[in-house]
Amino acid sequence: MFYTKSAKGFKFYEIRAPHKRCRVCGSHLKDYGGKKDQMHPFGALVGDVWTDIHRIRHNTRRDEHPCQLPIHLLERIVLMSTDPGDLVLDPFLGTGTTAIAAKALGRHYIGLEIDPFYKQIAEAKLARVTPSLYRGGYVSYYLGNIQSIRDIDAKALFPPQLTATEKKRKANAVDPAAEFDSTSHPGLKKSRRPARMPSAETHPAFFEPRNPPPAAYTNGCADGQGLCDC
């Protein structure tokens, strides 16, 4: 739970987690209302309830501490509430999860732990921590995959991709400056000018009459278009 007496100096950053995928085939589990091509290139914003972070199940990843927290849970909280270079305090450090998360994410830390055995484990683990980076930005990994990033870092880490419609438009784009004959539309604003003016050479079908009048109607007809009764 986050609580503040005043918004001044309070930090709260939105977090993104990877889109949920099928464990077998790897495809996305949500179709985002048929707008998959508009999905964020990394993942969706996380909500208030986090179901993607689980307790530590394997003894190989567990210290001799009864309530050790998963490192990527603390990393998400640190990312969410601090900037690189900030100071993180955990007055009940246990085997050091908070301090390890802070160090990996480029934050300073202070930890207090009453039990010398837990303190010893924390210090040994802290000595081995390396920065948790991706493309020069701090992110949280779990089992080799990025688990959490801050939304404000997302643009730099995962540049937005073109949607299918934008890709199509880009592929068909012509250079308006090269194509447009400004003498024919001098009054039009540049942004509203058509990129390419159709001509009988470039679009012959466009200039052909759709329903040419039958020859019988036009022969000898006064207006020459078969619109009269003659």
Ligand X SMILES: C[S@@+](CC[C@H](N)C(=O)[O-])C[C@H]1O[C@@H](n2cnc3c(N)ncnc32)[C@H](O)[C@@H]1O
The footprint of ligand X on this chain (CB under 6 A) covers a number of residues equal to: 13
DSSP 8-class letter at 156: H
> 179-188: b or e for each residue (b if 16 or more CB lie within 10 Å)?
ebeeeeeeee
Q: Using the rule CB under 6 A, is 65 a contact of ligand X?
A: yes
Residues 6+ apart with CB under 8 A from 41: 158, 159, 160, 161
Q: Using the rule CB under 6 A, is 67 a contact of ligand X?
A: yes
Question: Contacting ligand X (CB under 6 A), which of 115, 166, 179, 181?
Answer: 115
Minimum separation from the CB atom of position 59 to ligand X (A): 15
Closer to ligand X by Cβ: residue 99 or 154: 99
Beta bridge partners of 149: 16
Closer to ligand X by Cβ: residue 95 or 140: 95
Tell me which H or E stretch contains 43: strand 43-45
d(CA 83, CA 13): 9
Q: Using the rule CB under 6 A, is 92 a contact of ligand X?
A: yes
Q: Using the rule CB under 6 A, is 69 a contact of ligand X?
A: yes
Q: Using the rule CB under 6 A, is 95 a contact of ligand X?
A: yes
Question: Contacting ligand X (CB under 6 A), which of 45, 87, 89, 112?
Answer: 112
Q: Using the rule CB under 6 A, is 68 a contact of ligand X?
A: yes
**Residue 167 identity (one-letter amino acid):** K
Measure the CA dihedral 101/21/158/79, to 10°. Answer: -20
Beta bridge partners of 44: 17
Q: Using the rule CB under 6 A, is 118 a contact of ligand X?
A: yes
Closer to ligand X by Cβ: residue 90 or 153: 90
Let me know how long the chain is. 230
Minimum separation from the CB atom of position 49 to ligand X (A): 20
Identify the CA nearest to 148 among candidates 29, 18, 26: 18
d(CA 45, CA 40): 9
Q: Using the rule CB under 6 A, is 114 a contact of ligand X?
A: yes
Q: Using the rule CB under 6 A, is 140 a contact of ligand X?
A: no
Identify the CA nearest to 139 among candidates 11, 48, 2, 13: 13
Minimum separation from the CB atom of position 129 to ligand X (A): 14
Question: Contacting ligand X (CB under 6 A), which of 15, 113, 138, 140?
Answer: 113
Minimum separation from the CB atom of position 90 to ligand X (A): 7
Q: Which residues bind ligand X (CB under 6 A)?
A: 65, 67-69, 92, 94-95, 97, 112-115, 118
